[in-house]
Copies of this chain bind each other. A is one copy, B any other.
Amino acid sequence: MEQRLSMVSLGVESLERASKFYAAMGFAPAGCSDEHIVFYQLKGIALALYPRDLLAEDAQVPAEGSGFSGITLAYNVREREEADRVLAQAKAAGGTVVKPAQEVFWGGYSGYFADPDGHLWEVCWNPFFPIAEDGSIIVPESLK
């Protein structure tokens, strides 16, 4: 395996509701999206919205599931204050602010929102992980 990830697929109850939410967050669907699946071109990877039951069916696993998914996504902001703005935007878009942005023990400033299907996004100002001009995250060799 090369050290890469191609796509993150989020199972959703309503494709319309979820795609409206991500539109309000500023995400524009790729042209190949249709009424069955919505794709977004992120930097180097794809994000997909797909009905949750069909996503489980695709993996051939039971669709039942509840509680914490065990996976979180993170959006690192370029400026500390941007974390508050993105969380407010998520709330206005129909998401839920699960944790208001706050100083965290490792030295960053971070909060979480849940999208309409409960998928958790950390919105994070992390001064130790540089963000390149094109939005790429650079994982440092050391945190010192």
Instruction: Give chain A's interface residues, CB within 8 Å of chain B.
Output: 1-11, 25-28, 30-32, 39-47, 52, 55-56, 58-76, 86, 89, 98-99, 104, 110, 112, 117-120, 122, 124, 128-129, 131, 134-143
Q: How many copies does the complex hold?
A: 2
Q: Is the CB of B1 within 8 A of A140?
A: no
**Closest chain B CB from A93 CB (angstroms):** 10
A68 CA to B45 CA, complexed, in Å: 23
Output the nearest chain B residue to A134 by Cβ-Cβ distance: B44
Question: Please, which residues of chain B bring their CB within 8 A of the CB of A86?
Answer: 1
- CB of A1 within 8 A of CB of B30, answer no
- CB of A20, distance to nearest CB on chain B (Å): 15
* Contact in complex: B41, A138 (CB < 8 Å): yes
- What is the bound-complex CA distance between A131 and B68, given in angstroms? 32
Across the interface, do B139 and A74 meet the contact criterion of CB distance under 8 Å?
no
A59 touches B120 (CB 8 A): yes
Residue of B nearest to A143 (CB): B32
With A32-B142, A45-B43, A62-B68 as given contacts, are A26 and B1 in contact (CB-CB < 8 Å)? yes
